[in-house]
Structures are given as structure tokens and as C-alpha cells.
Structure 1
């Protein structure tokens, strides 16, 4: 489970620009909570505890009944859900669109992008893998959910990568060569990317599961062999 909090803020939909508000996904397909039989069935007189997070600390509020007893919702913020299967990625057969074209939600200091299965660029001269770049202004985190990730090998579902701002990267050398010699026709991947303007700090708990050789894995072995 990947949980991303918009601390002291809220999520909104990105500006779709020239492609219009119905691009990527139609807001009409967003799921919202329903006050249906399943919702009412949980309104029991049992004791329930609610965890309240404030300033990165948790407090417990105990109720002698299920507090999910809403009669309706009113206001500017609403809980919504989108299924990645309903996302229709923006594509061009002649141009590799930047990651920002896959933006799903935006917050005050970061954006969330969702990469879904999609066709590969078909023009012979088109770049078919991510271009080289230095994300100078953003830390970049990717969570790999399912599929075969086309930008590099040895990445599997459940893994997460973090590229701090200014860390030059692009297609993995092996992935780039494969795109030139035996390009795929379909990208089969589901991944979530978080680009944040504020620098991130890794949790100490991650040290036990970190792949220490990840950064060096971007080096091109063939380039070293020719020197």
C-alpha cells in the first residue's frame, strides 16, 4: 500500500491545457463515497477508535459507536478515487511525451503522475524511452506497481526508486540499446511517480532494504570496457 499525504493542503486535478478537461481521464468517472446499504450496515454500537494525525503525531479518539454515521457531504473538498484502468494516457506516435503529460493529481508542493500500459512510439525516428534529464527542481520518487518497466531492467513490482534533485538520469543504457535494435510495440507497466519541490529525507527504516548498488547500476558497462 502506497500512501501519499498532501500535508496542510489538498489534491486537485491538473490543468489539461490544449487537450481539454476530459483528457487522461474524464472527471465523471471519479468514484465518490456512497451512503448505501453497505455504508449503513457498519453503523453499529461497538467501540471504535480513530487515529488523528497532527504535526506528525498520532492521537486516539475513542467512540462508543461507529463514527462513520454521515448523512451526506457538503463543502469544497471531497474524497475521490480513480482506477488506473480508467486512465487514457496521452500519446504521440512521433514524440515521446514528458512525464508531466501523465499527471494525475497536483498538490501545493508536489505532483503525482501515473504511468499506465500504452503503445510505444511508432515513428522510426522517435525516442522510445525516457530522455536524459536532470530534475534540477524536483526530487523524483517512483513506485512500481505491476508489469515490465521499460526504462530499465532489474526493477520489479513493489520496488521504489528515489532520484534526488540534480541527479542526472535517463534511459538505462541497456534499455536504450534495446529500444534501438528491438523496440517494443507496447509498454506494459503501472507505476506511480511523485515529483516534489521540497527535498526528501529517507527513513532510517529503509536502510535495511536499500539496494546499495542502485546508483552505480546506471553506469554503462560497455563504456567502461572501451576506455
Structure 2
């Protein structure tokens, strides 16, 4: 594997040699959500040049972090067992970076895969264990294919992509949001104010359930 070498015999230096190149950890982040075709990875990272994506995938394969696998007559990229060991590292980095996130800059987006990992990072299983099982549907940033079904059952969390916002009956609360959800997750914005100011738009279900969502998912700013 050809990568930047720091010339230090150290685990952190070696880890950075493996995943410290630009875009590498974002590829890992998206693959932590699930296997992805090349085109799906490109779609989820719209600013990555195609040659850089190809290079990073090759480097990560050579490092034993990801592999190519056949799925229903197509080739997908997925994390190896070694690669999946990066999950707590990615979640910890996300929580640390959240503290410095600030307001979104122009043209910054929030993708479904990024939101999925953010929700895993923010999930408070101990709090959720004391609350009724709840299913949320979230439309992230609008557009087709950007919907998530978030199921909380005690300390268990499942976040999956949905073709569209589930109808009433499949989700207790459905809402639309964008990068401003950071203010809700951090506690900077109370749930009722998030609705009043348009940071969160309730699509169906009782808006009061957004308070339960904010209690279940929290990241310190």
C-alpha cells in the first residue's frame, strides 16, 4: 500500500497511514451504515473526484479494511471485520467534531448515511430503555431517497433507509429537517422551538414526540 509515512513506530502514526488520507474515513463512515456500490459511494460523497474515490478504495482494500463482494449480480464494497473495528473510533471522532461544528456553511449538506452515523453517536441507550418503543421517520434535506426510519425499542436502535416517509402507523412521528438539526441534538434549541422556527417540520404524528426524540438522541456541543 502506497501511503504517506510518518517515520514513527507508533499505533497512531500507523493508523493515520491507513485511514488518514483525505476522504478515507468518510468512506469508512458510509460503509459502517452498510455495503455500497461504487456509484452509491460517489453519490454520498458528491465532492470527491472519481479518481480519488477509486484510489482510496484501492488503498483501503490493500490495507484489509474493505473488500469487494458480489451482491445480486453487482459488486459492492463492504467493511471487513478489521474495518468494522473502526466503528467506535468513527463514533468518538464524530462526537468530538460535533463540539466544533457550528452553523452550516454555504453549500454544506447532510447525507442520509452521515445522519445515520450521527444518530448512532447521539443515541442514549440508557434513556431510551426507560421510554416507550417509538418509531420516527426523518426526511433529511429533502429530495428522493433521503428518508430514514428510526426505530427505538428499549436500548436497541435501528436506522434504515426508506423509499419515502412511512405512512402513519409505521412511524409514530415523521418530520423533515436539515443541518439545523444540530441545534436540536445539542440541546441549544428546545423541541417546541425547533418546530416553531422551522428547523424541524412535522409531517405527521404528534409534535410532542419530538421531545422524546431529543431526549433519546443528544450530543454535547
TM-score, scaled to structure 2: 0.28
Greater relative contact order, per chain length (Cα 8 Å cut-off, separation 6+): 1
Structure 1 or 2: more helix by fraction: 2
Larger Rg: 1
- Normalised by the size of structure 1, how large is the TM-score? 0.28
